[in-house]
Structure 1
């Protein structure tokens, strides 16, 4: 404490801060006032020192002029004996004063003599050192860095909340304050858990780790945000973390529009396809006239393409229902044998045409399964259809139901080519098909929809396969 009045502000600051640490939050304005007072004292000291420096420089120039005049007179006498003894120090001193006047406070004088010039150089260096300390004071640097950090945080378009490793809220930008509907004073410097007690959204952001999008109504409009968090690391140590909310409303609206478009187009296509299928059945009727061999081949080809189109459209409709979250489930106790019987009746014609035998294995007097019979049978039909499609002719497909205690395991094993390990994790993704598959073209939606149906009933689905050893698709459903 080097300046008049600085001790008074410092003592007041210490007292207010200690009271603030004991929980007296009313001392915060006094703390800010004391800090402002300390800054004002130091800033006035800087101005005062600069004014004194200027006056000193003016006096120094005057003294130099007087000394120069005297030296000129004395120099006439000692011109041959002491030419540089007087001139060189004066030249360095003059240059040093000019540097200080230009705010170059790192300037120093180095006189080795112990006379008056040495004392003047020491005083000059002390003055320059003090000015340099004030110019590069820690207080000014801290204030500048704080303002710059606040400007960067405030310019973020996404809502951002920062917490330290003690769960104290360090900052919240304008977007976050708007979404939380809280003033900055209610968050910054507060314990996050304490502040979250009065705000549901803040409580969700702090405690919930679910990556699903969050729906927030702002200004009467539904907006969707994605929660993201990142640790703040300094010297390989986590000193806090940042929570951000990224606005994905535009992407959500585009996704919804895509789903509605698929549903509309699929629905509009299904009617003419059904009419075409009916017309093909009428052509098969002898009452409409006999068909030649070539005509019948064309009709069979059209019928096969038409059925494939109907299947694709049905899958697209199911896909749109899954994406929109409108899966209507009728979960009830169903005997596993009923699900197997429906699936076998559905694929019987396809299996017979490919000369593929289906071997079934189910425990006698099996306990009911808690599931939607129609959706579960659809999944089993999809797995059997794929198994028949990719199995070689005159081979066998095994359909098994295994008791696993609280769950029933439904399995379909074929003797096809199998699936490479690099594709096994992707086959349940939408629109993915194994490259170079020889089972015909499809939408790549069947397994994706099957996974949605099974998981919606509280079950799991998966695959075990190796190239050249066939594939084993399975799904589990809980017992009733």
Structure 2
């Protein structure tokens, strides 16, 4: 039996109880009303007729015969009504006796004959009327007793039936809600257990209704979930959710794209930076979203290594962009292919602030060191002057070492100052139209003495028709000097170094390329991408000491500040070619 049927039966029972009580009340109320009506009709009217006849009989005792006709009419009318209302035992005989005596009385009254006969007839009539009245009074008392007994019986029946109905109804009210609520409560508790990954939970409803079906369906679901929980797919999904949780809790902004540039995921930090929601990103074609989002458009189009400046949390923040290509693993039948990419934005604001503080510190220290170093060089010059006094060979050797160290210190402080100027944006460029040949000659002249000391030959290859470039002569020559100094340092003795320049055109610009080629050991491919980083030196135990790791970094800043580009081409064991290009003026 289903729940709907049970509810219908329960409500039908309550409805039947209500109908029973209402029906009994209506039945007995109508019965009491009928009995009261019978009393009024049968007995009370007879009493009224008797009273009227008694009053009319009193007239006959008077000597005024003129009132007789009205009294006779009144008596006849009430007597006739009484003859039509014979309801009690003995009432008919008495009424007929009254009728006979009244007929005899009328004969004696008109004309009036013997008064004694009249009086005896009137006495007989009145005696009969009193008997009629007494019979009806007794009937009223009897019927009242019957009605009272009926009322008492009705009250008793209603009390019994009402008490029974109340008990049954209370039992229904107390038990039936529990019949509905208890399975629902048990189901709610079981659902909570399932939500807590307790898939061993089961429902047991001993009922052939919807709750029984619900229990069967719930138990089947729990079994399926238990099977799913212990399946490989469940473990995969669990690992997926764990990875998503890890990505969402990372402090770096992360955006994942597939090979078709569809956004696969984005963590909370990325959505905050982009000012979008997951619904705006996940599953959408990235270029379409980028049409309405400048930052995403910049992330998709720009491949530079410069930090991104983003206004975040009410201040300017700096982010380093890193794009990682995701490739499918190779198999015996498939080759490796790109299946997507991950864009990572690392917040480097704190590091940039520290770097700025470091730069200011280096600039201050370098500036302060130049004065004592200059004093040391002046002192060395005085010590070498014979007018101050002669020195022995050992002292002369010490002076040479001190001179080399002071030169090295001066060179380091100069490079640090240049780097600080570049990083703080305070570098002053004096760009003008300069011939490439002039720049190369300036650099070669500055480095010639160092090359002669190591017996390195400097070869130049400069076409005469090269156009002038828009550059700062001293800064550009300093870059070439740095290239040549490194080439001399890492070249063997009696080697050659080639300085060349050439004209290069592209779709939108024209450039002059400057190159310095040496034939030293070359650079390992692992380090070529970092060769222009600050303080980076190729890790080589046999490398010549003396470098600071700043020269190439400063060179890059000088060239890029003039709108040019700088790069290196090298193979291990085959030498290196350091190049930069400047736009034609």
Q: TM range, normalised to the smaller chain?
A: 0.5 to 0.7
Q: Deviations over 1:37-78 (max 9, x none)?
A: xxxxxxxxxx94854999xxxxxxxxxxxxxxxxxxxxxxxx
Q: Deviations over 1:331-374 (max 9, x none)?
A: 33201121122112211222233333323332235321232211
Give me the whole-angstrom Cα distance separating, in 2, the residues matched to 1:53 and 1:359. Answer: 94
1:224 alignment partner, SS class: strand
Q: Report the equivalent of 1:477.
A: 582
TM value normalised by structure 2: 0.50
Matched, 1:441 2:541: no
Q: 1:110-189, aligned counterparts within 5 Å?
A: 126=213, 128-132=215-219
Give me the whole-angstrom Cα distance separating, in 2, the residues matched to 1:374 and 1:173. Answer: 48
Matched, 1:368 2:471: no
Query: Which sits farther off after the overlay, 170-179 or 386-395?
Result: 170-179
Matched, 1:413 2:517: yes
Q: Report the equivalent of 1:460.
A: 566
TM value normalised by structure 1: 0.59
Closer, same or farther: CA 48–162 of 1 in aligned 2, 3 Å: farther
Give me the whole-angstrom Cα distance separating, in 1, the residues matched to 2:413 and 2:511. Answer: 33
Closer, same or farther: CA 224–183 of 1 in aligned 2, 3 Å: same
Matched, 1:450 2:555: yes
Give me the whole-angstrom Cα distance separating, in 1, the residues matched to 2:576 and 2:255. Answer: 49
Query: Which sits farther off after the overlay, 343-352 or 238-247?
Result: 238-247
Question: Alignment partner for residue 258 of structure 1, among 343, 351, 358?
Answer: 358
- Structure 1 residue 267 displacement after superposition: 2.2
Q: Report the equivalent of 2:487.
A: 387
Structure 1 contact 465–472 (Cα < 8 Å) conserved: no
Q: Report the equivalent of 1:317.
A: 417
Matched, 1:337 2:437: yes
Give me the whole-angstrom Cα distance separating, in 2, the residues matched to 1:189 and 1:398. Answer: 55
2:498 alignment partner, SS class: strand
Query: Which sits farther off after the overlay, 301-310 or 361-370?
Result: 361-370
Q: 1:235-274, aligned counterparts within 5 Å?
A: 246-274=346-374
Q: Report the equivalent of 1:43.
A: none
Unaligned runs of 5+ in 2: 5-178, 187-199, 229-236, 328-337
Which protein is richer in helix relative to its size? 2
Question: Alignment partner for residue 104 of structure 1, among 188, 193, 202?
Answer: 202
Closer, same or farther: CA 162–314 of 1 in aligned 2, 3 Å: closer
Q: Deviations over 1:406-431 (max 9, x none)?
A: 4333233345x422544661543432
Give me the whole-angstrom Cα distance separating, in 1, the residues matched to 2:401 and 2:180. Answer: 100
Give me the whole-angstrom Cα distance separating, in 2, the residues matched to 1:172 and 1:322. Answer: 36
- Structure 1 residue 179 displacement after superposition: 5.1
Structure 1 contact 410–475 (Cα < 8 Å) conserved: yes
Q: Deviations over 1:91-114 (max 9, x none)?
A: xxxxxxxxxxx9623899xxxxxx
1:290 alignment partner, SS class: coil
Give me the whole-angstrom Cα distance separating, in 2, the residues matched to 1:398 and 1:232. Answer: 41
Q: Deviations over 1:137-169 (max 9, x none)?
A: 99xx9xxx9xx99x9598665567899999999
- Structure 1 residue 183 displacement after superposition: 9.0
Larger radius of gyration: 2
RMSD: 5.2
Q: Report the equivalent of 1:10.
A: none
Closer, same or farther: CA 447–130 of 1 in aligned 2, 3 Å: closer
Query: Which sits farther off after the overlay, 323-332 or 152-161?
Result: 152-161
Closer, same or farther: CA 271–231 of 1 in aligned 2, 3 Å: closer
Q: Report the equivalent of 2:398.
A: 298
Q: Report the equivalent of 1:73.
A: none
Question: Alignment partner for residue 310 of structure 2, among 216, 225, 230?
Answer: 216
Structure 2 contact 568–576 (Cα < 8 Å) conserved: no
Structure 2 contact 362–417 (Cα < 8 Å) conserved: yes
Closer, same or farther: CA 369–196 of 1 in aligned 2, 3 Å: closer
Closer, same or farther: CA 174–293 of 1 in aligned 2, 3 Å: closer
Give me the whole-angstrom Cα distance separating, in 2, the residues matched to 1:48 and 1:137. Answer: 27
Q: Deviations over 1:361-398 (max 9, x none)?
A: 32235321232211210111112222333344444433
Question: Alignment partner for residue 456 of structure 2, among 347, 350, 356?
Answer: 356
Q: Report the equivalent of 1:70.
A: none
1:252 alignment partner, SS class: helix
Give me the whole-angstrom Cα distance separating, in 1, the residues matched to 2:347 and 2:479. Answer: 36
Give me the whole-angstrom Cα distance separating, in 2, the residues matched to 1:183 and 1:427. Answer: 40
Structure 1 contact 331–372 (Cα < 8 Å) conserved: yes
Structure 2 contact 517–575 (Cα < 8 Å) conserved: yes
